[in-house]
Structures are given as C-alpha cells and as structure tokens.
Amino acid sequence: MNSVEFSNHAENRDHQAVSLPRRIAHLDMDAFYASVELLRYPQLKGLPVVIGGSRRREDMYLERLRQIDPDKDWQNAPLSDIPVEVFPRLKDYAGRGVITTATYAARQFGVGSAMGLMKAALLCPQAVLLPVDFEEYRKYSKQFKSIITDIAPVMQDRGVDEVYVDFTNTPGGQREGGRVLARLIQKSIFQATQLTCSIGVAPNKLLSKMASELNKPNGICILSEEDLQTKIWPLACRKINGIGPKTDEKLKSLGITLIGQLALYDPNELITHFGQNYGRWLFEAANGRDDSPITTYSEPVSLSRETTFERDLHPASDKDRLTPIFTRLCEQVSNDLKRKGYLGKTVGIKMKYDNFKTVTRDQKIDIATDDPKEIRRYAGELLKRVDLTKKIRLLGVRMGSLVKVGEWGAEQGSRETRPEEGLNQELF
C-alpha cells in the first residue's frame, strides 16, 4: 500500500469510527457496601442487612462469641463462623446515624440509603446492622474499575460504586447495542470479586444512568432512541438525574408527574417557571437529549472528612471526646491528600449545631501542606471564629485550593512545628 492509499485508508477508517452510533454505558455496583460485607459474612446472605452507624471495631463481636463458646479461638476463627444470632439488630440501635446502604432483602421493607437508622428500625427491626468499612470498600472499588479499564479504557469515575464507560469505539461495544461488551464486563468483575453490577447502555450518559436502574440487580438494559417513549416516558420525573425533590414538587404543581408529560410540555412555559437554562435543560432531558462528554479525569476541588455524633456534644463538657475526634479528622484529610498526591492551601472547618444550623470557616495559608499537624493547627485557629457555647451534632475538616505535589507553587518551603502545636494539643 503506497502512502496515498494508506492516507485514504486511514481517513476512511477514522470516518467510520466517528460515524458509529454513540454508545455510553453506566455501570452501577449492586448494593455495593452491603455486597462487600456479604463477602466477609456469607452467613448473612438472603437476610435483611443494613450498613450504617459507627465505624467498624475489630473486636466488636468477641465478647459475645466467647460467651457462646469460651473454648474456641474466636480471635483467629474465620468471620464466616460467627453465628447469625451474634450480629446486632436494627431494633436495638439508639442514635442519629443514617443508612449508607442496605441489601435488597432489607429494601423490600422500605428501608433505603440516607434513611435514619431509628426510622428504619420501625420498618425492619429484625435487620442485621453492620458498621461501615470504607477502607474495604475503596479496595474493591479500585479493583472493579481496573477490570473495566482493561476492557474499555475510556471511563469516567462517578464515585466509589459507579462509572460511565464509552463503548462507542471499543471492540464489541456496538454488538447487540453494547450488550456483548456489557456481558463481558459483568462476567469479568464477578469472576474477580464475586460482586455483581447492573449496566445500562444508551446513546448518552443521561439515558444510560436511567437504564442501569431498570433491570437491577445484576441486569443489563440496552436503550435506543426508539425506546424513549415506551421505557423512559412512563417513569416518574425524579428518575432523571438532576431533578431533585423541590423541582419535582414544582413540576407536580404544574400537573407534570411523568417524564413523558415533561417531554410534551411547552418549553417556553418551563423556561418561565424554571429559568432559561434549567427550563431548557428539563425539556431536553425529558426528550432524552444529552451531549455531555465522558470525562476521564478531573482535578478534585477539595478533600474533606466529617462525622455526625451519636449524641450532641458540648465543646466544654465534652472536650475530652471532641479533641481526639478533631485530631482524627485532620489526620484523615492529611492521609487523603497524601494518597492522592495533593497539597492544600485553604483549611476549612464545618460545624452543625443541635438546632441544625451549619457554619463554615476557611483560611488561606502561606505554604501548601498535607501535614496533619499543620492542618490541625490552622483548623484549631478557625475554631476561635465560631460559637463554642452550643452543642454540636456534626464536625468536619476540609482542605481546598489543591495543587499537585511537585507542581509550581505547591511547595514553597516548610514550617517547623513547635512541640505545643503538635497533634496532642487541645482544641476545644
């Protein structure tokens, strides 16, 4: 093949690639946190299980296990040996924690993510309650995403348990509308992790996300433009990612409850009620139109850690509890920065009082840092700018204005921390 023929061949090949119908997949791990816990505790499979509340303590079951069988070496026994009756039940929970996720067996009782554990206990008191273990979830998250990019490299990370993947030019991505590639990814993830996922494939991100919800769990849904009226229009407007409860209530006041009704509504009227940009977007979304690209990488704006207390704590009388909690938050933010390779130039704190009022304070610092002592020192200074006479229900620490380690302006020197400014200082 001469150079002219090669050039023409390449142009034809590129033209064919560009002209392929767009196929975007949304992959959502099924009840991800709960599924990871069931790998650890297979004896709980099929039971209603709720994840939430306090963080994991390694010895949380040992005392009860020793009462059941004092002769057994429970310290070194496999977790699958723990009898089901040893696990705490939702009915015995007291506090203000919320559900992170729940197994499908628990969801049948109306229990769901972000629901208060006390409320969930009324709906499903027999549910097993397990604490969260974010370190374990991140491990599996990294594993399944690595499997995906080995098969289909154009992936947009959307959180610990979901991603968008561009199937358009990936081998197998067009076969059966993307079903062949979706099956391969599902099978590969399950073989490596024993975890299931649901995948929706559609012409764009908006439709693919809705599609991934239609055949859960462990399902595949392929949508084409021809399926819009039969599969999407009968759904409630809240199924569109980007329509929240306030917008949904306003749409209902206009007599719009289903996506199909929104798609046929006068767009000028939507603009009148919701503004130029959002009103137009509502109409376009209801009609299945979305040109947003797959973004394979984006720089984080900030990194933060926060915790909600089981009971309200007072900065004076509960200082001994608040001080180590504040220390841990600073250390966690520091570890997050180091793990991701960033330094921060803005330190912030967040505080929610017992009356649910939230306050935040931020401070620019001269030298970008990931040092936990520096983060704590500046965060401690910010505490002087908030009201510490009221009880607190939530406390958080944030680092913003992030710069990559090694980039210009990221490291301008270091500051020697005096002993009294170390991590053991009292901040309340």
Q: What is the DSSP string of 27-69?
A: EEETTHHHHHHHHH-GGGTTS-EEEEEEEP-TTTTHHHHHHH-
Query: How far, in Å, CA of 44 to CA of 83, rounded?
Result: 9
Closest of 385, 374, 375 to residue 415, by C-alpha: 374
Return the pLDDT at 428. 61
Return the pLDDT at 240. 96
Return the pLDDT at 182. 97
- Tokens standing for 115? 């629901």
Angle at 377 between CA 373 and CA 380, to 5 degrees: 135
Bond preceding residue 293 cis, omega within 30 of 0:
no
DSSP-derived 3-state class of residue 387: coil
Sorted by where each starts, the structural domains of the chain and their CATH numbers stand as: 32-133 (3.40.1170.60), 233-296 (1.10.150.20), 302-421 (3.30.1490.100)
Closest of 279, 294, 286, 265 to residue 207, by C-alpha: 286
* Predicted TM-score of the model (pTM): 0.72
DSSP 22: P
Contact criterion met (CB below 8 Å) for 309 and 394 = yes
381-386: Cβ within 8 A, 24+ apart: 382/347, 382/348, 382/349, 383/349, 383/427, 383/428, 385/361, 386/349, 386/351, 386/359, 386/361
Q: How many CB atoms sit inside 10 A of residue 100's CB?
A: 19
Return the pLDDT at 413. 39
For β-strands 128-132 and 302-313, DSSP reports them as unpaired
Return the pLDDT at 270. 97
Query: Which residues does the annotation mark as catalytic?
Result: 162
Return the pLDDT at 67. 78
Contact criterion met (CB below 8 Å) for 421 and 377 = yes
Closest of 362, 305, 302 to residue 328, by C-alpha: 305
Return the pLDDT at 11. 44
- Tokens standing for 386? 């908030």
Each of the 428 residues of the chain gets a pLDDT tens digit; together they read: 444 443 444 444 444 445 799 999 999 999 999 999 999 999 999 999 999 876 555 566 777 787 778 888 877 888 888 889 889 899 988 888 889 899 999 999 999 888 999 999 999 999 999 988 888 999 999 999 999 999 999 999 998 999 999 999 999 999 999 999 999 999 999 999 999 999 999 999 999 999 999 999 999 999 999 999 999 999 999 999 999 999 999 999 999 999 999 999 999 999 999 999 999 999 999 999 999 999 887 677 899 999 988 889 999 999 999 999 999 999 999 999 999 899 999 999 999 999 889 999 999 998 899 999 999 999 999 999 999 999 999 999 999 999 988 764 444 433 334 433 444 455 56
Return the pLDDT at 277. 94
Element (H, E) at 280: helix 276-286
For β-strands 128-132 and 342-353, DSSP reports them as unpaired
